[in-house]
Chains A and B, each alone.
Chain A
Amino acid sequence: MTFFARCRSWLGAVLHPSRLDSEMDAELRFHLEARAADLVRDGLSPAEARRRARLEFGAVDSAKEACRESRGLAWLHAFAQDVRFGLRMLRKSPGFTAVAILTLALGIGADTAIFSALDCIVLKALPYPDSSQLVDLQATDTGGCPPADFLRIRAESRTLYPIALHSGDWGTTLIGDGAPQHISLHLITADFMPLLGIQPLLGRWFLSSEMQPGNEHAVILGYSLWRDRFGSDPQMVGRSIKLLMGRPPAVVSYKVVGVMPPKFDFPQTSFGEPKDSVTQIWLPRPIFPEDLAIRFGSWTAVARIRPGFTLDDVNAEMGIISSHLDKSDPETYKNMRYWAKPLKQEVVSHAQVLLSVLLAISAFVLLIACANLANLFLSRGWARRPEMAVRATLGATRLRIVRQLLAECLLLSLAGGTAGFLLAFSATGALRHLLPPDTPRLAELRIDPLALWFTLAISVFAAILFGLVPALMVSRQDPNEVMKEGGSRSSGALASRAGRWFRDALIAAEIALAFVLVFSAGLGARSFGLVATANIGFRTDHLLTFGFPFRFYGPPIDAPQFSRSLLERLSALPGIESAAGDTSGDAWSSLHIQGVPDQNLRPPPRLWIRSPTPNYFATLGVPFKFGRDFTADDRPDSPLVAIINETLATRYFGDANPVGKTITLSQGRNPYKPTDTQTVQIIGEVADSRFPTAPMIPIFPTVYLDYYQRPRAGIVAPILRTEKDPMLVIPAIRAIIGAIQGRDPIWKNDPNIEITTVDQEIARATTNPRSRAILLGSFGALGLLLAAIGIYGVIAYSVVQRTHEIGVRMALGAQPENVMRMIVSQGARPALAGIVLGLGGAWAFARFLQVLIYIQSIKATDPITFFSACISLIIVALLACYIPARRAMRVDPLTALRHE
């Protein structure tokens, strides 16, 4: 009862402070007037009565203050006063205020942006109902789930329902209604979308009848394709589209049954064309009898845990099903088992480490900014000692002074926080581009109310961090001392040992944090540098390449014949030095060599098979170690020949010349049970090269088989070495492609064949390490700059403070060099301590940075990076001390002594 009354009175006072004040005024006025009226009745003159009434009452203002205090409002009133006063102080020094707000805005803005990314990408549940129940099924050997195992698990599992299978694809071509368009596609079973729990924008999902072979001609359109290609046609469902499907490709008509909702980007990317885009169409994928033999492939299974079961239950069951599989076919399933992993973990795990590291790094930047501000406040506090002394003498308690100083800090940091939030908000789009393109869920990235709370929290935290210690130190002054000395010379707590110690600690902390930042940036830069300059094994300049889409021609063509005539026409072009081509070989193959032990490894050792044309190595500039190139004499009817790379040769033959030896290649859908075995003779060994993979992918043992000798279905991707600027040849190449396409009206003016230089391809392949290096580099530079400003500020300020002392020293005979050494060592000592601290910090932080490293040749604790970080910080610290020290050196003793 009384509790509620108290709350009501307090709330009323808080919500309507002005009403409270005016009521109080009215009440006191009434009192004074009533008293005066009584006095007039007693015989006084009205003027005298008013005077007496006022006199009897006492100080009206202090009574009001006491009234406010009675209602628990004193602090609020004082707070409002602090805020007003703080605003006035900040307005009085606009330069200081602007610098402080800007620093805070940068620090808080970066923190907010990275926090939002972490929140939206990693912390938030996937955007499906009950998404925590979704799991991904993975076999320990393949990392995926082949169709045969999928059927077995679906039949036996009690803990999972439903289970769906999906697979990426190389993409297809959409034809009719305008230019043909290469689109990305994803293959799914009927349960896939219902399992995720989402609804189509239009139409329906696939029916289980559409999973029967022969009935699969249905398609679901992705939102962006529906919008851009079909103008968001609301009548789209029921219409048909034409796609190139099958091998050899043929035009097949598919009925549109549904349209995806916008922003659906799972699975994130398909491995086909066009590159780096979200899935544009979904097709039903029946499981054909021949699929049951597949062991390694692109199939992945997702499932939902049945209510009442846990992930542990599922994995216990997966163990049992795996042992059933093993019993039924030990040859294939030996030492293999299935694990269910939370789907979210699969989607976000690789972004999680990067974003956590970035959040830590942006927090370091904010901490450095706070250290700078703490120092600024300390300096200002020193200048304001007389003011504080007057306040203390007039009766302000220490708490009151601290509170007033903290209010200023809070104002600053809230202003910085607001600016930072707006900065983060407006930079969301930029952040989407700044994050590596392989980051999942980028479409979901946004700044939401949680980010606002986060900003508020770190703003308040920052204010306490940079304001509390300076406020405590400034308020600890003895007013008598300050008043006596007139506030001109250093003394008291700020110049005392504690003050010096605090400044030194600030410098050390800033340097230590900056060290970690610079180290991270250095590691990112070095990793990217190594990737960019990695020994790629061939000459990348003056090299052009292009590829035909996987499903290229409607009418069946003779691919080798087509490739041969294409390469002949291309090499006849003026300005072309040489031309060749290659296609990728079978994805999963295994190698058997008589008498070599590592044959039955599980899973089989990774082996690359490529099918180049003659002249391929000469065009790329890959040197032969032994033997010869393919020639026109290697024909389909002559003995099969192969060229191997150095990695393979070294592993199996050591340094010996492998030419003349034979190897047996096994190929088939299940590498444990090869169906196609061929023995080939080695005719040459070439140096290792990384064409056409990204520079950070390790070199695998590679077997090159002659494209013309073992004809393949695909058309080669031409590689052209040009004499001059490769861009100049592109129009001529386009003309040749146009002439080929002109024969078939479908292909007229196909805009989709992209001719690029290999240098461009490499730049594209190294986007992820580059964007990581840029992100870390910017944070490192920002941290280093802030730390340098911080040290400079501290030292420069102490020079000003010590001008008098320096003057005395010089008057007594100190040489300018001595003064210089004194000032530099004043900054250098804590800086060195900071570097030692930073070394330890970076060492501890390094294991989280492993994620930034794309290349095997360096570890996160790379000594060169440590060394460079040390050197750069020492230089920056010395420079930041040197500039103010030079000023100290030039102090004129006479002026300095008059400085009093």
Chain B
Amino acid sequence: MAKPLDLLQGTLDMLILKAVSLGPLHGYGVLLRIQQISKDRLEILQGSLYPALYRLEHQGWIASTWGESENNRKAKYYRLTPAGKRRLRQETEKWNSMAGVIASILGATPEEV
């Protein structure tokens, strides 16, 4: 297994939005899902997850309700709001175009310049 990558600044919010867009999750579930999708290649600091969740909720992109967890414990579930859905779309587009630009810069050869 490769050494986990540090998370790029500002990308955690986007990943959380993506994670909950697939279905309501509690905080620990968000962590697990991101790790599962990334095949453990991303390391997320658990302590920074919750401030991010609270920030997104405060901004109205995700909403929370208390519910039962898999093992019948009370847990707080987050889901995406319509505003969050729009936000995720924008962020994804921005990220893709940014990634494309950066990739093309990094992939440039002396002949192309």
Residue ranges of A at the interface with B (Cβ–Cβ < 8 Å): 1-6, 9-10, 23-24, 26-28, 30-31, 33-35, 37, 56-60, 62-63, 66-72
Query: What's the nearest-Cβ distance from chain B to residue A782, in Å?
Result: 51
- Per DSSP, chain A at the interface is helix
A31 touches B28 (CB 8 A): yes
> Top 8 closest A-B pairs, CB basis?
A5-B60, A58-B47, A2-B60, A66-B51, A70-B55, A70-B54, A63-B47, A34-B28
B46 touches A31 (CB 8 A): yes
A31 touches B27 (CB 8 A): yes
B51 touches A70 (CB 8 A): yes
**22 residue pairs from A and B, CB less than 8 Å apart:** A2-B60, A4-B60, A6-B58, A9-B58, A24-B50, A27-B26, A27-B76, A30-B26, A30-B75, A30-B76, A31-B27, A34-B26, A34-B69, A34-B75, A35-B46, A63-B47, A66-B50, A67-B51, A68-B54, A71-B55, A71-B57, A72-B58
A30 touches B73 (CB 8 A): yes
* Complex Cα–Cα for A96 and B63 (A): 50
* Complex Cα–Cα for A34 and B72 (A): 11
Please indicate the chain B residues that have their CB under 8 angstroms from the CB of A68 in the complex. Answer: 54
* Complex Cα–Cα for A706 and B33 (A): 118
* Complex Cα–Cα for A724 and B86 (A): 104
**Cβ contact of B58, chosen from A34, A35, A71, cutoff 8 A:** A71
A57 touches B69 (CB 8 A): no
B83 touches A2 (CB 8 A): yes
A62 touches B60 (CB 8 A): no
* B59, CB-defined interface residue at 8 Å: yes
A6 touches B50 (CB 8 A): no
* Chain B residues bordering chain A, tally (CB within 8 A): 26
* Complex Cα–Cα for A306 and B89 (A): 67
* Complex Cα–Cα for A56 and B47 (A): 8
A26 touches B27 (CB 8 A): no
B74 touches A26 (CB 8 A): yes
A56 touches B51 (CB 8 A): no
Please indicate the chain A residues that have their CB under 8 angstroms from the CB of B63 in the complex. Answer: 5
* Complex Cα–Cα for A6 and B54 (A): 11
Known: A30-B69, A31-B46, A69-B51. A6 touches B59 (CB 8 A): yes
Please indicate the chain A residues that have their CB under 8 angstroms from the CB of B52 in the complex. Answer: 70
Please indicate the chain A residues that have their CB under 8 angstroms from the CB of B76 in the complex. Answer: 23, 26-27, 30
* Complex Cα–Cα for A37 and B74 (A): 15
B59 touches A5 (CB 8 A): yes
* Complex Cα–Cα for A2 and B56 (A): 10
* Complex Cα–Cα for A3 and B26 (A): 24
Known: A23-B76, A34-B28, A34-B69. A28 touches B50 (CB 8 A): yes
Residue of A nearest to B26 (CB): A30
B60 touches A27 (CB 8 A): no
Query: What's the nearest-Cβ distance from chain B to residue A7, in Å?
Result: 10
Considering only residues 11-37 of chain B, those with a C-beta below 8 Å from chain A are 26-28
* B48, CB-defined interface residue at 8 Å: yes
B61 touches A2 (CB 8 A): yes
Most buried by A among B28, B57, B76: B28
Most buried by B among A10, A27, A63: A27
Query: What's the nearest-Cβ distance from chain B to residue A22, in Å?
Result: 12
A37 touches B71 (CB 8 A): yes
Residue ranges of B at the interface with A (Cβ–Cβ < 8 Å): 26-28, 45-48, 50-52, 54-55, 57-61, 63, 69, 71, 73-76, 81, 83
Please indicate the chain A residues that have their CB under 8 angstroms from the CB of B60 in the complex. Answer: 1-6, 9
Please indicate the chain A residues that have their CB under 8 angstroms from the CB of B74 in the complex. Answer: 26, 30
Please indicate the chain A residues that have their CB under 8 angstroms from the CB of B54 in the complex. Answer: 67-68, 70-71
Known: A33-B73, A34-B69, A67-B54. A1 touches B83 (CB 8 A): yes
B58 touches A57 (CB 8 A): no
Supply 18 further A-B pairs (C-beta < 8 A) apart from A31-B50, A63-B47: A2-B61, A5-B63, A5-B83, A23-B76, A27-B27, A27-B75, A27-B76, A30-B27, A30-B74, A30-B75, A30-B76, A31-B26, A31-B27, A34-B28, A62-B47, A66-B51, A69-B51, A70-B54
Please indicate the chain A residues that have their CB under 8 angstroms from the CB of B71 in the complex. Answer: 37
B28 touches A35 (CB 8 A): yes
* Complex Cα–Cα for A71 and B58 (A): 6
* Complex Cα–Cα for A578 and B74 (A): 105
Please indicate the chain B residues that have their CB under 8 angstroms from the CB of A31 in the complex. Answer: 26-28, 46, 50
Residue of B nearest to A56 (CB): B46
B75 touches A63 (CB 8 A): no
Please indicate the chain A residues that have their CB under 8 angstroms from the CB of B45 in the complex. Answer: 58
Residue of A nearest to B30 (CB): A31
Query: What's the nearest-Cβ distance from chain A to residue B29, in Å?
Result: 8
Please indicate the chain B residues that have their CB under 8 angstroms from the CB of A62 in the complex. Answer: 47
B51 touches A63 (CB 8 A): yes
Please indicate the chain B residues that have their CB under 8 angstroms from the CB of A72 in the complex. Answer: 58
A30 touches B51 (CB 8 A): no
Query: What's the nearest-Cβ distance from chain A to residue B28, in Å?
Result: 4
A58 touches B46 (CB 8 A): yes
B51 touches A57 (CB 8 A): no
* Complex Cα–Cα for A155 and B75 (A): 86
* Complex Cα–Cα for A17 and B55 (A): 16
**Cβ contact of A9, chosen from B27, B28, B50, B57, cutoff 8 A:** B57
Query: What's the nearest-Cβ distance from chain B to residue A70, in Å?
Result: 4
Please indicate the chain B residues that have their CB under 8 angstroms from the CB of A10 in the complex. Answer: 58
Residue of B nearest to A10 (CB): B58
B28 touches A67 (CB 8 A): no
Please indicate the chain B residues that have their CB under 8 angstroms from the CB of A2 in the complex. Answer: 59-61, 83
Please indicate the chain B residues that have their CB under 8 angstroms from the CB of A4 in the complex. Answer: 60
Query: What's the nearest-Cβ distance from chain A to residue B87, in Å?
Result: 9
B50 touches A67 (CB 8 A): yes
Residue of B nearest to A5 (CB): B60
Query: What's the nearest-Cβ distance from chain B to residue A29, in Å?
Result: 10
Please indicate the chain B residues that have their CB under 8 angstroms from the CB of A28 in the complex. Answer: 50
Residue of B nearest to A20 (CB): B54
A63 touches B58 (CB 8 A): no
* Complex Cα–Cα for A66 and B49 (A): 10
Most buried by A among B47, B55, B76: B47
**Cβ contact of A70, chosen from B46, B58, B81, B83, cutoff 8 A:** B58
* Complex Cα–Cα for A412 and B51 (A): 36
Query: What's the nearest-Cβ distance from chain A to residue B88, in Å?
Result: 14
Please indicate the chain A residues that have their CB under 8 angstroms from the CB of B47 in the complex. Answer: 57-60, 62-63, 66
A57 touches B46 (CB 8 A): yes
Please indicate the chain B residues that have their CB under 8 angstroms from the CB of A3 in the complex. Answer: 60
Please indicate the chain B residues that have their CB under 8 angstroms from the CB of A5 in the complex. Answer: 58-60, 63, 81, 83
Residue of A nearest to B87 (CB): A2
Please indicate the chain A residues that have their CB under 8 angstroms from the CB of B27 in the complex. Answer: 27, 30-31
Residue of B nearest to A23 (CB): B76
* Complex Cα–Cα for A26 and B69 (A): 13
Residue of A nearest to B84 (CB): A2
Query: What's the nearest-Cβ distance from chain A to residue B77, in Å?
Result: 10
Please indicate the chain B residues that have their CB under 8 angstroms from the CB of A69 in the complex. Answer: 51
* Complex Cα–Cα for A69 and B69 (A): 27
Query: What's the nearest-Cβ distance from chain B to residue A64, in Å?
Result: 8
Query: What's the nearest-Cβ distance from chain B to residue A509, in Å?
Result: 46
Please indicate the chain B residues that have their CB under 8 angstroms from the CB of A33 in the complex. Answer: 73
Please indicate the chain B residues that have their CB under 8 angstroms from the CB of A60 in the complex. Answer: 47
Query: What's the nearest-Cβ distance from chain B to residue A332, in Å?
Result: 82
* Complex Cα–Cα for A1 and B28 (A): 28
Please indicate the chain A residues that have their CB under 8 angstroms from the CB of B69 in the complex. Answer: 30, 34
Residue of A nearest to B55 (CB): A70
* Complex Cα–Cα for A58 and B58 (A): 23
* Complex Cα–Cα for A68 and B51 (A): 8
Please indicate the chain B residues that have their CB under 8 angstroms from the CB of A56 in the complex. Answer: 46
* Complex Cα–Cα for A1 and B87 (A): 13
* Complex Cα–Cα for A59 and B46 (A): 10
Query: What's the nearest-Cβ distance from chain B to residue A4, in Å?
Result: 8
Query: What's the nearest-Cβ distance from chain B to residue A68, in Å?
Result: 8
Most buried by A among B26, B46, B54, B60: B54
* Complex Cα–Cα for A31 and B31 (A): 10
Residue of A nearest to B47 (CB): A58
A30 touches B28 (CB 8 A): yes
Query: What's the nearest-Cβ distance from chain B to residue A124, in Å?
Result: 46
